[in-house]
Structure 1
């Protein structure tokens, strides 16, 4: 029986990546589910997270969960979230 991964805690247990894709310019950013869960909590639905594109400044991003590639190539970049003060 398969189960939908609907929380960051479940994604963390499966060692998944949270991938945000800008719908305007198609830029992608990947984050470890563990890092995102530390910021937003383990019970948060990853598809409700808000991301902003650094290239086109758009806030229209699609969030998907992907498996962590164990044979990661050098061009796979994992971003780390940081809190900033305004």
Structure 2
């Protein structure tokens, strides 16, 4: 029986990546579920997170969850969330 991963805590237990894809320019940013769970909390739904594209400055992003590729290629870049004070 399969279960959907609806919280960051469940994605954290399976060592998954959260991928934010801009719907306009198709750029992707990948985050580890453990980093996002530390930042937002383990009970947060990953699809409710708001991401902003750094290329076109748009907030229209699609959020998906994927397995962590253990054979990382140089093209796989994992970002870390940070809080910025203005």
Normalised to the residue count of structure 2, the TM-score between the two structures is 0.98
| Structure 2 unmatched ranges of 5 or more | none
Name the residue aligned to 1:15: 15
1:54 corresponds to 2:50: no
Mapped to 1, the partners of 2:26 and 2:46 lie a distance apart of 19
Equivalent pairs, count: 86
1:27 corresponds to 2:27: yes
SS in 1 for 2:76: coil
Displacement of 1:20: 0.1
Displacement of 1:6: 0.2
| Structure 1 unmatched ranges of 5 or more | none
Displacement of 1:61: 0.2
Displacement of 1:60: 0.3
SS in 1 for 2:57: coil
Name the Cα RMSD after superposition.
0.4
Mapped to 2, the partners of 1:47 and 1:9 lie a distance apart of 13
Mapped to 2, the partners of 1:53 and 1:59 lie a distance apart of 6
Name the residue aligned to 1:83: 83
